[in-house]
Structure 1
Amino acid sequence: MFSHIMLGANDIDAAQAFYDATLGALGYPPGKRDDRGRLFYMTEKGILALTPPIDGKPATAGNGSTIGFAATSPELADAWHAAGLANGGTACEDAPGVREGGLGRLYLAYLRDPSGNKLCALHRMG
């Protein structure tokens, strides 16, 4: 459904340390910067990009917004969470674990990146 997601980042170096670690825990390669200093994580299915806002104002996190990353196991979701905490992220929501609801059993882990964007690693339980 999505071709790409672009998030604002106030510090591209901090963003790269965070996303290289968290996405690396899920098996993705490090990000690459373009000649404008934007950071890209490219996969066959889509692109995650981080950039300072083009209007020159500070990046802000969207209230009510969450970007979710698929994890193939609860252990990978935990590794993602730990990598984020070790690289400038902060915990938010409940501790990583199983949640049950109308969409079935999900293993969820939540973080905020160094710019405050809310993220989630999600594993659909069998």
Structure 2
Amino acid sequence: MFSHIMIGTNDLEKSKQFYDNVLGALGVKPGFLDRHRVFWRSSTGTFSVSKPIDGEPSTCANGATIGFNMDSPEQADRFYAAALANGAVAVEDPPGWRGGPNGLYLCYFRDPDGHKICGLHRPPKP
């Protein structure tokens, strides 16, 4: 359904460094700069940060969450650890299973611009 996700930033270089490290934990190559935006591409989509083109400050969306698929709980833990090591703030419960035996493995953090990010592992259905 989605081709890409783009979020705003007030510090393009800081966001690039943050997401190079965090998405690097998922095997994504470093982002590339295109004018006032940075793009990270993978076989499943594109993630981007951008300075707002209207010249106003970037703000995070209250109630919004951007979720990244994880191949395993271990990958979610690496993603989360990389985020915290690079300036993210932990939010919600610690990484772990939610929703019982057929649930989801989730981790949540806020990036340096305040955007809420989730790592989600959905195990195969039995």
2:12 match: 12
SS at match of 1:121: strand
Distance 1:87 1:27 in 2: 16
Distance 1:2 1:119 in 2: 17
1:58 corresponds to which letter in structure 2? P
Q: TM-score, normalised by structure 1?
A: 0.92
Q: TM-score, normalised by structure 2?
A: 0.92
* Identical-pair percentage: 54
SS at match of 1:98: strand
| Alignment check: 8 A CA contact 1:99 1:107 kept | yes
2:96 match: 97
Distance 1:45 1:59 in 2: 26
2:40 corresponds to which letter in structure 1? Y
Q: For residue 10 of structure 1, report the CA deviation from its aligned partner.
A: 0.8
SS at match of 1:61: coil
SS at match of 1:116: coil
Unaligned runs of 5+ in 1: none
Unaligned runs of 5+ in 2: none
2:73 match: 74
- What is the total number of aligned residue pairs between the two structures? 123
Query: Are residue 64 (structure 1) and residue 63 (structure 2) matched?
Result: yes
Distance 1:81 1:63 in 2: 21
